[in-house]
Amino acid sequence: MTRILFVTDVHGSEYVFRKFLNAIPIYKADVGILLGDLAGKLLVPIVRNPDNTYVSTFFGGTYKFKEKELDDVKKRISIAGYYPIIVTKEELDEIERNPELKDRLFVENIKARLRSWIKLAEERLKGKNVKIFISAGNDDPLEIEEVLNESDFVINVGMKKVWVDEHHEMITLPYSNPTPWNTPREVPEEKLEEMIEDLVKKIENMENAIFNFHVPPYDSGLDLAPKLSKDLTPSVSEMIPVGSVAVRKAIEKYQPMMGLHGHIHESKGFCNIGRTICFNPGSEYGEGILKGVLVDIERGKVKGYSFVSG
């Protein structure tokens, strides 16, 4: 029996990542899988004034505080998945005038936090007889691959096949079908299908295989999101399927043992597509809540599962 803890869409949240690491020994998981989106959403400037006070705008308010409160403010910002940066007023003006500088600072902060996460995982879990697999998602810039490939313990599985245990293979797809936000790793359905076919060629025994695909299959119940208006305002009453047709087609065609998915935070649940059971644990990263699914597998069968949060 192998127990997997599957988590996705942490979006830069320090709390959620640390809870993921803590949950692995608590739930006696043999394998931890973190499937994108790893990056947070934005930089939060903290402006240092000449009198050594600070001012910052976040969570809908503007706050002025002293040096002794700085670490606490940075922590609050990081919990939500954002990246606090300390700047002078002149430095902030330059960042606002220079989009390339802003983009570079954003990527640097994403990489720095991700590097600190991987170091923490090594410190806490290396030598504990567990495997940690990680992959980007559609929101993650391509530049983070450099960081994901630095560890020999936390394994970057994006666009690869790995053995979860001696019986079960897993292929991982970090990309999604197109979204309204033009994210770094989204491609047309036709291209997504080509990527999946290239990955599938690596599988030796499909009956025991896991499809670790960031985007869920279309119209599966795991891909329901609020319908957007023309100005991208989400509906409060109408949900529509936004998953991938190519992913659904591949699952129907190949019938792997299991599908692991994320991407759509609101659609926690499971479904069966033929013999394949698919999961989406959902995400509440903004509240610092870990949401995951524990799955017990044995020789090509899902023996049990439970959704966890906290």
Confidence band, pLDDT 50/70/90 cuts, at residue 171: very high
Nearest CA among 175, 180, 182 for reference residue 159: 175
Name the pTM for this structure. Answer: 0.96
- pLDDT tens sequence across 62-99: 999 999 999 999 999 998 899 999 999 999 999 999 99
CA distances from 243 to 44, 133, 140, 175 (A): 31, 23, 18, 12
What pLDDT digit, counting tens, does each position of 142-167 carry?
999 999 999 999 999 999 999 999 99
Cβ distance 158 to 136 under 8 Å?
A: yes
What is the pLDDT averaged over residues 178-196? 97
**pLDDT grade for 8, boundaries at 50, 70 and 90:** very high
Average pLDDT over residues 17-38: 97
pLDDT tens, 188-223? 999 999 999 999 999 999 999 999 999 999 999 999
Are 154 and 123 in contact, with CB atoms under 8 Å apart?
no
Residues 157 and 154: their CA atoms lie apart, in Å, by: 9
Percent of the chain's residues with pLDDT above 70: 100
- Percent over 90 (pLDDT), the chain: 96
Per-residue confidence band for 59, with pLDDT thresholds at 50, 70 and 90? confident
SS3 129: coil
> What pLDDT band is residue 15 in, cutting at 50, 70 and 90?
very high
CATH 3.60.21.10 in the chain: give the residue spans: 2-36+124-309
Average pLDDT, the chain: 97
pLDDT in tens, 231-285: 999 998 999 999 999 999 999 999 999 999 999 999 999 999 999 999 999 999 9
Pairing outcome for strands 154-156 and 131-135: parallel
Q: Would you say 220 and 243 are in contact if contact means Cβ atoms under 8 Å apart?
A: yes
| Helix, strand, coil shares, percent, the chain, to 5 | 30, 35, 35
Q: What is the C-alpha to C-alpha distance for residues 241 and 269, in angstroms, rounded to an integer?
A: 14
The domain covering 2-36+124-309 belongs, at the CATH homologous superfamily level, to Metallo-dependent phosphatases (3.60.21.10)
